[in-house]
Amino acid sequence: MNSIYTILHKEVAAFFNSLIAYMVIAVFLTGVGLFFWGFEGNILDTGLANMDILFDIGPYMFLFLVPAITMRSFSEEMKSGTLEFLITKPLTDWHIILGKYFAAVFLVFFALLPTLIYYFTIYFLGNPVGNLDQGAIWGAYIGLFFLGAIFAAIGIFTSALTDNQIVAFIGGVFLCFTLFLAFEFTAGLGYLAAINGILIKIGIMEHYRSISRGVIDTRDILYFGSVIVIFLLLTKMVLNTRKK
């Protein structure tokens, strides 16, 4: 565990030592804030005390935010030649992968924390005060966090494929987009009606939508966990091929 924590600490420190860290998080919070208070259909326009805007817009912002967080994880190590140095240290591949992955998940959590300002603002603006669907809100927060955790695993994987951070970012966005939206879109095609239910359940959106209703279903948790494990295993396979 000490080895994983060391990698985690190194990754988080390196992230916050770069300008892109503050830019990425600032863009996320500014974007969410604009949808909450600025653009047409905002909270003040509708007069509805809910946080649906965050949970509707958040996943699409995460499609870009999370790959931006993870794109340097392995790409920078390979480009600078420090990956070989890490591998020769008394660290297993899993120490390195999990350390980098947990660092990315921590940064997702860190980006979500300031959005609690919106929660407390709407809580006190409600009539009566606190007139919110608490179960749905906290369920949606859990869903958004799990979604970020899946995107982090995907981003770690694409970062291990190339030493180019931009390519890793684009690959991460593409894979996240595909798993989140493509199956839902494909299921809507008439000639695939016979397998619509299967396609929808393969995609992330259905499970995110389910947990965002405030119902924590073990099937959804198992799905999120399985996708994360699959992409971490794929990352391990990529690292193994680089040793040969």
Mean of all residue pLDDT scores within the chain: 82
List pLDDT tens digits, range 132-142.
777 778 888 89
**Residue 175 domain boundaries:** 2-243
Task: For residue 51, give the H/E element and its range.
Answer: none
pLDDT digits (tens, 9 = 90+) for 79-126: 887 777 776 667 788 888 999 999 999 999 988 888 888 888 777 776
> What secondary structure letter does DSSP report for 92?
-
* The dihedral sign for the CA sequence 117, 118, 120, 121: positive
Q: How many CA atoms lie within 13 A of 198 on its CB side?
A: 4
Judge if pTM exceeds 0.85: yes
Tell me the pLDDT tens digit for each residue of 147-173: 999 999 999 999 999 989 999 999 999
What pLDDT is stored for residue 116 in this prediction?
86
Looking at residue 105, its pLDDT comes to: 94
Per the structure, how many domains does the chain have?
A: 1
